[in-house]
Structure 1
Amino acid sequence: MSDTVMTHDDEASRPWYRQPWFWFLVLFPGMSITYCIIAITIAVNTQSSMVVDDYSKEGLGINQSLARDSLASDLGLEADIRQSDRQLEVTLKSQSDTLDVPDYLILQLFHPTIGDQDRIIQLSSVSPGVYRAQVTGKLDGRWYLDLSGPSSDWRIKGEGHFPAESGIVLRPDDTDRG
Protein backbone atom coordinates (compact mmCIF):
# COMPACT_ATOMS: atom_id res chain seq x y z
CA MET A 1 0.00 0.00 0.00
CA SER A 2 1.05 3.52 -0.67
CA ASP A 3 1.57 6.13 2.03
CA THR A 4 -0.67 8.66 0.22
CA VAL A 5 -3.72 6.44 0.27
CA MET A 6 -5.58 6.58 3.57
CA THR A 7 -7.28 3.48 4.70
CA HIS A 8 -10.38 3.14 6.80
CA ASP A 9 -8.27 2.12 9.77
CA ASP A 10 -6.15 5.29 9.48
CA GLU A 11 -9.27 7.50 9.48
CA ALA A 12 -10.69 5.78 12.51
CA SER A 13 -7.44 6.08 14.41
CA ARG A 14 -7.29 9.89 14.04
CA PRO A 15 -7.95 11.91 17.23
CA TRP A 16 -11.56 13.07 17.87
CA TYR A 17 -10.84 16.73 17.11
CA ARG A 18 -9.73 15.80 13.58
CA GLN A 19 -12.94 13.99 12.75
CA PRO A 20 -15.18 16.06 10.35
CA TRP A 21 -18.42 14.56 11.68
CA PHE A 22 -17.64 15.69 15.20
CA TRP A 23 -17.37 19.33 14.09
CA PHE A 24 -20.45 19.02 11.92
CA LEU A 25 -22.48 17.77 14.88
CA VAL A 26 -21.11 20.37 17.33
CA LEU A 27 -21.46 23.36 14.97
CA PHE A 28 -25.27 23.86 15.10
CA PRO A 29 -25.79 23.47 18.87
CA GLY A 30 -22.76 25.69 19.44
CA MET A 31 -24.18 28.40 17.18
CA SER A 32 -27.56 28.29 18.95
CA ILE A 33 -25.95 28.57 22.39
CA THR A 34 -23.90 31.56 21.17
CA TYR A 35 -27.03 33.21 19.72
CA CYS A 36 -28.97 32.67 22.96
CA ILE A 37 -26.18 34.22 25.04
CA ILE A 38 -26.09 37.27 22.74
CA ALA A 39 -29.91 37.63 22.76
CA ILE A 40 -30.14 37.36 26.55
CA THR A 41 -27.32 39.90 26.99
CA ILE A 42 -29.07 42.39 24.69
CA ALA A 43 -32.44 41.85 26.39
CA VAL A 44 -31.01 42.38 29.87
CA ASN A 45 -28.90 45.43 28.98
CA THR A 46 -31.40 47.25 26.74
CA GLN A 47 -34.34 49.15 28.20
CA SER A 48 -37.52 49.36 26.16
CA SER A 49 -39.24 52.75 26.38
CA MET A 50 -42.46 51.30 24.97
CA VAL A 51 -43.22 49.28 28.13
CA VAL A 52 -45.10 50.93 31.01
CA ASP A 53 -44.01 49.87 34.49
CA ASP A 54 -47.17 50.64 36.46
CA TYR A 55 -50.27 49.55 34.56
CA SER A 56 -52.67 50.36 37.40
CA LYS A 57 -51.71 54.05 37.42
CA GLU A 58 -51.97 54.16 33.63
CA GLY A 59 -55.46 52.65 33.85
CA LEU A 60 -56.59 55.21 36.41
CA GLY A 61 -55.21 58.01 34.27
CA ILE A 62 -57.34 56.98 31.30
CA ASN A 63 -60.52 58.38 32.86
CA GLN A 64 -58.80 61.70 33.55
CA SER A 65 -57.52 61.82 29.94
CA LEU A 66 -60.99 61.15 28.56
CA ALA A 67 -62.40 63.98 30.69
CA ARG A 68 -59.73 66.36 29.33
CA ASP A 69 -60.56 65.33 25.75
CA SER A 70 -64.27 65.75 26.42
CA LEU A 71 -63.77 69.27 27.82
CA ALA A 72 -61.77 70.27 24.73
CA SER A 73 -64.61 68.98 22.58
CA ASP A 74 -67.22 70.84 24.68
CA LEU A 75 -65.23 74.07 24.33
CA GLY A 76 -65.01 73.56 20.56
CA LEU A 77 -61.25 73.95 20.53
CA GLU A 78 -59.21 73.79 17.36
CA ALA A 79 -55.48 74.36 16.96
CA ASP A 80 -53.60 75.20 13.78
CA ILE A 81 -49.88 74.40 14.05
CA ARG A 82 -47.44 75.90 11.58
CA GLN A 83 -43.68 75.52 11.37
CA SER A 84 -41.30 78.03 9.82
CA ASP A 85 -37.54 77.64 10.10
CA ARG A 86 -36.93 76.96 13.80
CA GLN A 87 -40.23 78.37 15.04
CA LEU A 88 -43.61 76.84 15.82
CA GLU A 89 -46.78 78.91 15.80
CA VAL A 90 -50.08 77.66 17.21
CA THR A 91 -53.35 79.44 16.60
CA LEU A 92 -55.96 78.34 19.14
CA LYS A 93 -59.62 78.88 18.31
CA SER A 94 -62.63 78.19 20.50
CA GLN A 95 -66.33 78.14 19.75
CA SER A 96 -67.08 78.78 23.42
CA ASP A 97 -66.91 82.07 25.29
CA THR A 98 -66.09 80.30 28.58
CA LEU A 99 -62.46 79.55 27.66
CA ASP A 100 -59.98 81.65 29.60
CA VAL A 101 -57.17 82.50 27.20
CA PRO A 102 -54.05 81.00 28.79
CA ASP A 103 -50.71 82.83 28.97
CA TYR A 104 -48.95 79.84 27.42
CA LEU A 105 -49.63 76.42 25.92
CA ILE A 106 -47.77 73.14 26.32
CA LEU A 107 -47.16 71.08 23.20
CA GLN A 108 -45.83 67.58 23.72
CA LEU A 109 -44.32 65.88 20.70
CA PHE A 110 -43.99 62.11 20.84
CA HIS A 111 -41.94 60.26 18.25
CA PRO A 112 -43.72 57.02 17.23
CA THR A 113 -40.67 54.78 17.63
CA ILE A 114 -37.80 56.66 19.31
CA GLY A 115 -38.66 57.76 22.84
CA ASP A 116 -35.42 59.73 23.22
CA GLN A 117 -36.65 62.22 20.61
CA ASP A 118 -39.83 63.13 22.54
CA ARG A 119 -40.12 66.84 23.39
CA ILE A 120 -42.13 69.24 25.49
CA ILE A 121 -42.41 72.75 24.06
CA GLN A 122 -43.85 75.73 25.91
CA LEU A 123 -45.47 78.24 23.56
CA SER A 124 -45.81 81.84 24.75
CA SER A 125 -48.72 84.07 23.85
CA VAL A 126 -47.88 86.77 21.28
CA SER A 127 -51.48 87.91 20.73
CA PRO A 128 -54.90 86.58 21.78
CA GLY A 129 -55.08 83.00 20.53
CA VAL A 130 -51.63 82.99 18.89
CA TYR A 131 -48.66 81.27 20.54
CA ARG A 132 -45.03 80.88 19.43
CA ALA A 133 -41.90 79.01 20.48
CA GLN A 134 -38.40 78.45 19.19
CA VAL A 135 -37.56 74.82 18.40
CA THR A 136 -34.10 73.33 18.63
CA GLY A 137 -33.20 70.40 16.43
CA LYS A 138 -35.11 68.91 13.53
CA LEU A 139 -38.80 68.09 13.50
CA ASP A 140 -38.88 65.82 10.47
CA GLY A 141 -41.25 62.94 10.02
CA ARG A 142 -44.31 61.67 11.83
CA TRP A 143 -45.16 62.83 15.37
CA TYR A 144 -47.96 62.37 17.89
CA LEU A 145 -49.07 65.77 19.21
CA ASP A 146 -50.61 66.59 22.59
CA LEU A 147 -51.62 70.25 23.15
CA SER A 148 -52.89 71.49 26.51
CA GLY A 149 -53.15 74.62 28.61
CA PRO A 150 -51.07 75.36 31.71
CA SER A 151 -53.68 73.84 34.05
CA SER A 152 -54.02 70.67 31.91
CA ASP A 153 -57.80 70.69 32.28
CA TRP A 154 -58.29 70.24 28.50
CA ARG A 155 -56.25 68.50 25.82
CA ILE A 156 -56.23 68.23 22.04
CA LYS A 157 -54.23 65.41 20.58
CA GLY A 158 -53.55 64.16 17.10
CA GLU A 159 -50.92 63.18 14.62
CA GLY A 160 -48.91 65.16 12.11
CA HIS A 161 -45.96 65.18 9.75
CA PHE A 162 -43.25 67.84 9.88
CA PRO A 163 -42.42 69.88 7.95
CA ALA A 164 -46.03 70.62 7.06
CA GLU A 165 -46.43 73.18 4.32
CA SER A 166 -50.15 73.73 4.93
CA GLY A 167 -49.96 73.34 8.71
CA ILE A 168 -51.40 70.72 11.04
CA VAL A 169 -54.94 71.11 12.37
CA LEU A 170 -55.81 69.45 15.67
CA ARG A 171 -59.43 68.92 16.73
CA PRO A 172 -60.75 66.96 19.71
CA ASP A 173 -62.90 64.86 17.36
CA ASP A 174 -59.75 63.56 15.62
CA THR A 175 -58.58 61.74 18.73
CA ASP A 176 -58.95 58.03 19.35
CA ARG A 177 -61.23 57.54 22.35
CA GLY A 178 -61.38 53.82 22.59
Structure 2
Amino acid sequence: MKQRTVEDTQPWYRQFWPWFILSIPLITIVWCIFMITMAIQSENAMVNDDYYEKGLAINQELSRDRRAAALGLSASMRVDGELVRVDLSGAANRERPFPFLMLNLFHPTLGDRDQRLRLIHQGEGHYRATLPAALENRWYLEVRGPDNDWRLTGEASLPLKDPLTLVPATQG
Protein backbone atom coordinates (compact mmCIF):
# COMPACT_ATOMS: atom_id res chain seq x y z
CA MET A 1 0.00 0.00 0.00
CA LYS A 2 1.22 3.50 -0.89
CA GLN A 3 1.71 6.07 1.79
CA ARG A 4 0.27 9.54 1.29
CA THR A 5 2.69 12.49 1.31
CA VAL A 6 2.11 16.08 2.29
CA GLU A 7 2.06 17.03 -1.40
CA ASP A 8 -0.84 14.70 -2.07
CA THR A 9 -2.96 16.29 0.62
CA GLN A 10 -2.41 19.95 -0.41
CA PRO A 11 -5.20 21.72 -2.31
CA TRP A 12 -4.66 22.25 -6.05
CA TYR A 13 -3.75 25.93 -5.77
CA ARG A 14 -0.73 25.05 -3.62
CA GLN A 15 0.64 22.68 -6.25
CA PHE A 16 3.35 23.72 -8.77
CA TRP A 17 2.00 22.17 -11.98
CA PRO A 18 -1.43 23.86 -12.17
CA TRP A 19 0.22 27.28 -11.86
CA PHE A 20 2.88 26.40 -14.39
CA ILE A 21 0.27 25.27 -16.93
CA LEU A 22 -1.92 28.34 -16.29
CA SER A 23 1.04 30.72 -16.56
CA ILE A 24 1.62 29.98 -20.26
CA PRO A 25 -1.77 31.28 -21.50
CA LEU A 26 -1.71 34.15 -18.98
CA ILE A 27 1.71 35.33 -20.15
CA THR A 28 0.52 35.03 -23.76
CA ILE A 29 -2.56 37.15 -23.08
CA VAL A 30 -0.52 39.86 -21.33
CA TRP A 31 2.02 39.90 -24.19
CA CYS A 32 -0.77 40.19 -26.81
CA ILE A 33 -2.36 43.09 -24.95
CA PHE A 34 1.03 44.83 -24.80
CA MET A 35 1.69 44.30 -28.53
CA ILE A 36 -1.80 45.48 -29.55
CA THR A 37 -1.36 48.59 -27.41
CA MET A 38 2.02 49.32 -29.01
CA ALA A 39 0.61 48.80 -32.51
CA ILE A 40 -2.27 51.20 -31.87
CA GLN A 41 -0.26 53.92 -30.14
CA SER A 42 2.85 54.04 -32.33
CA GLU A 43 2.87 55.45 -35.84
CA ASN A 44 4.60 53.42 -38.50
CA ALA A 45 6.62 56.01 -40.42
CA MET A 46 7.67 53.44 -43.01
CA VAL A 47 4.16 53.12 -44.46
CA ASN A 48 3.33 55.67 -47.13
CA ASP A 49 -0.34 56.58 -47.54
CA ASP A 50 0.12 58.23 -50.94
CA TYR A 51 1.96 55.38 -52.63
CA TYR A 52 0.13 56.04 -55.92
CA GLU A 53 1.42 59.61 -56.09
CA LYS A 54 4.91 58.40 -55.18
CA GLY A 55 4.72 55.88 -57.98
CA LEU A 56 3.74 58.56 -60.49
CA ALA A 57 6.61 60.77 -59.31
CA ILE A 58 9.18 58.08 -60.14
CA ASN A 59 9.15 59.04 -63.82
CA GLN A 60 9.86 62.67 -62.93
CA GLU A 61 12.78 61.59 -60.69
CA LEU A 62 14.20 59.44 -63.48
CA SER A 63 14.09 62.39 -65.87
CA ARG A 64 16.13 64.40 -63.33
CA ASP A 65 18.70 61.62 -63.20
CA ARG A 66 18.87 61.49 -67.00
CA ARG A 67 19.27 65.28 -67.15
CA ALA A 68 22.20 65.19 -64.71
CA ALA A 69 23.81 62.41 -66.77
CA ALA A 70 23.30 64.41 -69.98
CA LEU A 71 24.95 67.44 -68.36
CA GLY A 72 27.84 65.23 -67.27
CA LEU A 73 27.48 66.27 -63.63
CA SER A 74 29.07 64.58 -60.64
CA ALA A 75 30.03 65.82 -57.22
CA SER A 76 32.52 65.09 -54.48
CA MET A 77 31.20 65.67 -50.98
CA ARG A 78 32.96 66.07 -47.65
CA VAL A 79 31.37 66.36 -44.23
CA ASP A 80 33.65 67.72 -41.51
CA GLY A 81 31.60 67.89 -38.32
CA GLU A 82 28.91 70.45 -39.11
CA LEU A 83 30.51 71.74 -42.33
CA VAL A 84 29.39 70.27 -45.67
CA ARG A 85 31.48 70.92 -48.78
CA VAL A 86 30.46 69.85 -52.27
CA ASP A 87 32.69 70.15 -55.33
CA LEU A 88 30.52 69.98 -58.45
CA SER A 89 32.10 69.00 -61.73
CA GLY A 90 30.64 68.97 -65.22
CA ALA A 91 30.47 71.13 -68.31
CA ALA A 92 27.21 72.82 -67.29
CA ASN A 93 28.74 74.10 -64.04
CA ARG A 94 31.94 75.33 -65.72
CA GLU A 95 30.07 77.35 -68.36
CA ARG A 96 27.63 79.01 -65.99
CA PRO A 97 28.01 78.13 -62.30
CA PHE A 98 24.85 77.58 -60.33
CA PRO A 99 24.28 80.26 -57.66
CA PHE A 100 23.37 77.59 -55.11
CA LEU A 101 22.52 73.90 -54.79
CA MET A 102 20.04 72.08 -52.58
CA LEU A 103 21.23 69.17 -50.45
CA ASN A 104 18.61 66.77 -49.12
CA LEU A 105 19.62 64.39 -46.33
CA PHE A 106 17.20 61.51 -45.83
CA HIS A 107 17.34 59.23 -42.80
CA PRO A 108 16.54 55.63 -43.88
CA THR A 109 13.88 55.04 -41.21
CA LEU A 110 13.07 58.26 -39.33
CA GLY A 111 11.45 60.85 -41.57
CA ASP A 112 11.45 63.52 -38.86
CA ARG A 113 15.27 63.62 -39.03
CA ASP A 114 15.37 64.49 -42.74
CA GLN A 115 17.13 67.77 -43.52
CA ARG A 116 17.32 70.18 -46.40
CA LEU A 117 20.30 72.52 -46.80
CA ARG A 118 21.12 75.27 -49.22
CA LEU A 119 24.70 74.98 -50.48
CA ILE A 120 26.13 78.42 -51.26
CA HIS A 121 28.48 78.86 -54.23
CA GLN A 122 32.05 79.64 -53.11
CA GLY A 123 33.61 79.88 -56.58
CA GLU A 124 35.10 77.40 -59.09
CA GLY A 125 32.47 74.70 -58.51
CA HIS A 126 32.80 74.70 -54.72
CA TYR A 127 29.66 74.86 -52.56
CA ARG A 128 29.32 74.98 -48.80
CA ALA A 129 26.68 74.77 -46.05
CA THR A 130 26.55 74.32 -42.29
CA LEU A 131 24.54 71.56 -40.59
CA PRO A 132 22.57 72.37 -37.43
CA ALA A 133 24.41 69.49 -35.71
CA ALA A 134 26.95 66.85 -36.69
CA LEU A 135 25.31 63.77 -38.21
CA GLU A 136 25.99 60.13 -37.55
CA ASN A 137 24.85 56.80 -38.97
CA ARG A 138 23.50 56.02 -42.43
CA TRP A 139 21.97 58.68 -44.70
CA TYR A 140 20.69 58.97 -48.26
CA LEU A 141 22.02 62.11 -49.95
CA GLU A 142 20.65 64.06 -52.86
CA VAL A 143 22.06 67.20 -54.49
CA ARG A 144 19.69 69.13 -56.75
CA GLY A 145 20.13 72.15 -58.95
CA PRO A 146 18.47 75.48 -58.20
CA ASP A 147 15.75 74.81 -60.80
CA ASN A 148 15.23 71.24 -59.52
CA ASP A 149 15.76 69.90 -63.04
CA TRP A 150 18.62 67.48 -62.20
CA ARG A 151 19.83 65.50 -59.20
CA LEU A 152 22.84 63.55 -57.98
CA THR A 153 22.39 60.83 -55.39
CA GLY A 154 24.48 58.86 -52.95
CA GLU A 155 24.46 56.99 -49.68
CA ALA A 156 26.86 57.40 -46.79
CA SER A 157 27.58 56.44 -43.22
CA LEU A 158 28.43 59.67 -41.48
CA PRO A 159 30.85 60.99 -40.41
CA LEU A 160 32.82 60.50 -43.62
CA LYS A 161 36.49 59.57 -43.59
CA ASP A 162 36.96 59.99 -47.34
CA PRO A 163 35.15 62.17 -49.89
CA LEU A 164 31.89 60.69 -51.20
CA THR A 165 31.14 60.74 -54.92
CA LEU A 166 27.59 61.64 -55.91
CA VAL A 167 26.42 60.63 -59.38
CA PRO A 168 23.08 60.47 -61.22
CA ALA A 169 21.08 57.46 -60.03
CA THR A 170 21.05 56.01 -63.53
CA GLN A 171 24.84 55.62 -63.30
CA GLY A 172 24.97 54.49 -59.65
User: TM-score surpassing 0.5?
Assistant: yes
* Map of 1:84 onto structure 2: 80
Q: 2:138 aligns with which of 139, 142, 149?
A: 142
Structure 1 distance, partners of 2:20, 2:167, is: 63
Whether 1:24 and 2:5 are equivalent positions in the alignment is no
Q: Identity of aligned pairs, percent?
A: 39
Q: 1:127 aligns with which of 117, 123, 126?
A: 123
Distance 2:160 2:15 in 1: 66
Structure 1 unaligned spans of 5+: none
Aligned positions of 1:49-64 closer than 5 A: 49-64=45-60
1:50-74 superposed Cα distances (whole Å, 9 cap, x missing partner)? 2111111011011111111111111
Q: 1:111-140 CA deviation, whole Å, 9 max, x = no partner?
A: 223333321111111224221111121222
Partner of 2:65: 69
Q: TM-score, normalised by structure 2?
A: 0.85
* 8 Å Cα contact 1:69/1:155 also seen in 2: yes
Counterpart residue identity of residue 81, structure 1: M
Q: What's the C-alpha RMSD, in Å, of the aligned pairs?
A: 2.4
The amino acid of 1:103's aligned partner reads P
Q: State the 1:161 CA deviation.
A: 2.9
CA gap of 1:104–1:23, structure 2 versus 1, over 3 A, is: same
Q: Does 2:112 correspond to 1:116?
A: yes
Equivalent in 27, 34, 53 of residue 30 of structure 2: 34
Give 1:111's aligned amino acid: H
Q: 1:7–1:116: structure 2 CA closer, same or farther, 3 Å change rule?
A: closer
Instruction: Tell me by how many angstroms 1:47 deviates.
Output: 1.3
